[in-house]
Structure 1
Amino acid sequence: MNGSYGLDYFEDSKQKHWGFWSTRCRKQEVRVRFIQKAILTGKPDSNNGNHGLVLLYNDGEGIAYYGRAGDNFWTVLDISHAPYDDIICHENNLFALGDYNSIEVWDLQQGSGCIVKKRFYLVQSRGDLLLVVRFIADDGDRETDYRIILFHVYKLDYHGRKWVEIECLGDRALFLGGNQSVLVLTRSFPDCEKNSIYFTDDSRERVEDDFFYGGHDMGICNLKYKSFKSIYEFSSHHIEPPPCWIVPPAMLEP
C-alpha cells in the first residue's frame, strides 16, 4: 500500500471521538494504535444503513464504533471491564468478553451506552460450589442510575464438568457481595427470608470515579418470584466506600 489509513482522536464536552485520517505513517506510529480486532455490525451490502464497524484496540483496553447514520466520527464506548478478550455483534447488539469473564452488551442502534453488565461470584454451599451471575442495567452515563435486574445461580457438576442452573435455595438465604458471599440457614435466623439473595453494591469503579451514583444498589431478591425490594433507603446515591457484609461465624453453614 502506498498510503496508510487510520484514526484520529479528540474529545468534546460530552463524548470521545475518533475521526478519519489518511496519510503515510511509520510502523512505530501504527503500533501506538494497534487494532486487535475489527468486526462488521451487519452485512455491508445492505441498504438499510444499519451496518457499521467496531474496533477492539490497544491490547483490548478500548472499543470504538463507527456506523450510525449521519456519523462522520468514531465513538469510543464507555467501558468497565477492560481489557477485553473478544467482541461479537448479535441481534443489533455488541457483546464484549471482559476481565474475569464478565460480559458487557451495547445497543448500537440506540447509542454507545452499555445496556447490560454481568458480575460473577463463587459461593460454598454444603460441599457444593455455586456460581452466581448478577445482571446490571447500566448505560454508562455518569449522571444515570443503574440497577440489578436479574440473578442466575448455578451449581458445579464435578463429574460432568459443567455448571447446572438451580432455581431454588431451599431454606437458605445468600448474602452476596464483593468482600464475602455466604449462605445461611433461615430456620436458625427467622428474620432472614428463605430462597432469597441479599446483595450489596460492589461497583467500585463507580464509587472511585466521578459518578453521581455508586454503592447504593442494595436489596433483597426473591428467587421464586424474581422480585426485588430495598433493604434500606439511603439519603445519598453515592456511598463511599461501598457497603460490605460482616458475617459472624454463628451465621455460617455448618
Structure 2
Amino acid sequence: MDFQEAKSPLLLLSVEEETCFVSFNGEKAVPKLKNSPKDFKSSMRIGSSHGWLILLDETSEPYLLNPFNQSQIQLPEKITFPHINRVTSKCWRGGECLCVEYTSGFTRWFDPTEDKSPLLSIKKAILSANPSTHKDFLVAVIYGENSRIAYCRNGDNEWSAIQDGDSDPYYDIACSDDDDLLYALGKNVSVEIWDLMFPGSSTLKKMGTLYPRMFLETMKDYPGTLYARKFYLVPCAKSGQIFFVVRYVGEFVTSDGKVVYDAEADDDQYPHPMVCPYKTINFHVYCLDTTTLTWKAVKSLNNLALFLGGNHSVSMLVSDDSEVKADSIYFTDDYWERMDEDYLYGGHDMGVFSLKDESVKQFLNIDLQKIKPPPFWLIRESS
C-alpha cells in the first residue's frame, strides 16, 4: 500500500472473549464485532488489507470480510491450492475428519476437534485493492512449508502459483495502489515485481540485490541463538521508494529487557516459574537504490509511519495533527512459529518503535497475557 491520507489505523483486538476495534487513544471504536454469515469467532485471521480481513473458516476455506458493513466474498476452495492434491473427509467419533494429500507426497489427518489452520500453512495474505471500490483485484498469499506465492483474481475458480523456476522461499509480499503490481521479497532480499492482473502475465522485473552491508555487519550483535529476524517489504509507488525492514525479536526477554538463553531463563537464580516471552527489541530500515540495486540504510522516515505485522505492510503520511507519531514503526505480533507454544503469552508482542532514539514503547496498556487470535492492524481507507 502507498502513502496514504487515510483514516487513523484501528487495532483489531480480542481480549476476554470480546473482539473490538481499538483506536490510538485506547477507546473502542466499534464496541463489538458482530458475527458474519460465517462464524467470525471460529475463523482464523491470515491477513488484513485495504480495510478488509482475509480469513480461513473452521474447515480452512478462505474468504474475505469487510468488518464494517459485514460484506463477504468467498475465495477459491482450499483444494485448488497448488500444493494440495486431494482433500477427503469421513465421519469419526461424531465429527468430520479431514485427510489432506499434498503434492510433496506427504499426507496429514485432521481430527474433528483439531485446528485446521495449519492445513494451508499461510504466512501472509494481502489484497491488491479495496474490493468495495475496485472490481478488478487479486488476493496473494505466501503459503506452504517452502513459502511459495499463490494468487487469485476476483472471479477466479482456483489459486495459481507463481512459477519462476526458483525453489527458494519468499519472505514477504506487498502491493502498491498506483500500479496494480505485486512486489515480492525473495532470495538474498532481492525484489521481484509481477503484473498478475491479466492471464499470462509474468515477472516484469527482478532486481537482484545483496543483503545490506549494515545488516551483515550487525549480525554478530543479533545472533540467531538469541534473536529471530523477520523481513518486511514496503513499496511506495508515488515516491518510487521501496523499503526493506528487518525486525529483531529476542527469543527470551526478561521483564527488565535482558535477552537471555532458554537455559538461563530456567536457572535457579531467577524466581520460578519465570516467564520469558519473546519480544521485539529493534528495527533496521533500508531503502532500495534502483540505480545501483543496493540497499541503503535509512536513519529517519521523516513524516512517514510504518504499520507492520500480519497486515498488508503500510506506509502512512503523518500530518501535524495526527495521533500517529511520524518516524515510527507500529507493529503487532506475527511470530507464528512461537505464538502457541505457551499458554501464558503469544500474540502479545506489539508496540511502537521510534527510529529517532531506537526505543520500543507500548501504545496500549495491556499486561503480558495470551492474546488469541493475535491483534491485526486494519486501515480504513478514505472514500
Instruction: Give the AA of the match of 1:194.
Output: A
Once the two structures are superposed, what CA deviation does each residue of 1:188-235 show, in whole Å capped at 9, x if it has no partner? 761111101111111122223345321101111110111111011224
1:197 aligns with 2:329: yes
Name 1:167's counterpart in structure 2.
299
Does residue 183 of the first structure (1) align with residue 183 of the second (2)? no
| Letter of the structure 2 residue corresponding to residue 124 of structure 1 | P
Q: Do the aligned residues in 1 keep the contact of 2:282 with 2:360 (CA within 8 Å)?
A: no
Say yes or no: does 1:132 pair with 2:132. no
Structure 2: distance between partners of 1:250 and 1:193? 19
Alignment partners' CA distance in 2, 1:208 and 1:215: 9
Q: 2:281 and 2:367 mapped to 1: Cα distance?
A: 22
Q: Are 1:150 and 2:282 matched, yes or no? A: yes
How far apart in 1 are the matches of 2:231 and 2:223? 15
Equivalent position amino acid for 1:105 in 2: P
The answer to whether the Cα contact below 8 Å between 1:200 and 1:217 also exists between their aligned partners in 2 is yes
Contact between 1:221 and 1:228, CA under 8 Å: does it hold in 2? yes
SS of the aligned residue for 2:377 comes to coil
Q: For the residues of structure 1 that align with 2:278 and 2:329, how far apart are their CA atoms? A: 18
User: Which of 353, 361, 369 in structure 2 is aligned with 1:221?
Assistant: 353
**What 5-or-longer segments of structure 1 have no aligned partner?**
1-81, 84-97, 107-113
Partner residue in 2 for 1:248: 380
Amino acid at match of 2:309: G
Looking at structure 1, the residues matched to 373 and 249 of structure 2 have their Cα atoms a distance apart, in angstroms, of 20
Q: 1:105 aligns with which of 223, 226, 229?
A: 223
Instruction: Name the amino acid aligned to 1:168.
Output: S
Give the paired residue count. Answer: 149
8 A contact 1:173–1:186 mirrored in 2: yes
> Over residues 125-158 of structure 1, what are the superposed CA-to-partner deviations in whole Å (9 max), with x where a residue is unaligned?
2321100000011148595212111100011111
Tell whether the 8 Å contact from 1:132 to 1:154 is kept in structure 2 after alignment. yes
**What displacement does 1:243 show?**
0.9
Query: Quick one: distance in 2 between partners of 1:127 and 1:188?
Result: 24
1:239 CA displacement: 1.1
What does residue 233 of structure 2 align with? 122
Confirm or deny: 8 A CA contact 2:307 2:314 kept in the other structure.
Answer: yes
In structure 2, what residue type is equivalent to 1:116? Y
After superposition, where does 1:39-50 map in structure 2 within 5 Å? none
CA distance in 2, matches of 1:144, 1:191: 32
How big is the shift at 1:99? 8.0
1:79-118: per-residue Cα shift (whole Å, max 9, x none)? xxx98xxxxxxxxxxxxxx984798835xxxxxxx31110
Runs of 4+ with >6 A deviation: 101-104
Structure 1 position 170, deviation (Å)? 0.5
Q: Taking every aligned residue pair, what percent have the same amino acid on both sides?
A: 38
Moved more, 204-213 or 164-173: 204-213
Structure 1 residue matching 2:382: 3-state secondary structure: helix
Rounded Cα–Cα distance in structure 2 between residues aligned with 1:227 and 1:133: 15
d(CA) in 2 for partners of 1:181 and 1:189?
Answer: 23
What is the rounded CA distance, in whole Å, between the counterparts of 1:212 and 1:243 in structure 2?
16
- Correspondence 1:28-43 to 2 at 5 A: none
**TM norm structure 2:** 0.35
Q: What 5-or-longer segments of structure 2 have no aligned partner?
A: 1-144, 147-168, 172-186, 190-218, 253-260, 266-274
Pairs within 5 Å for 1:23-102? 100=171
Q: 1:164 to 1:179 in 2, by over 3 A?
A: same
Superposition RMSD on alpha carbons, in Å? 2.9
Q: CA contact under 8 A between 1:204 and 1:242: conserved in structure 2?
A: no
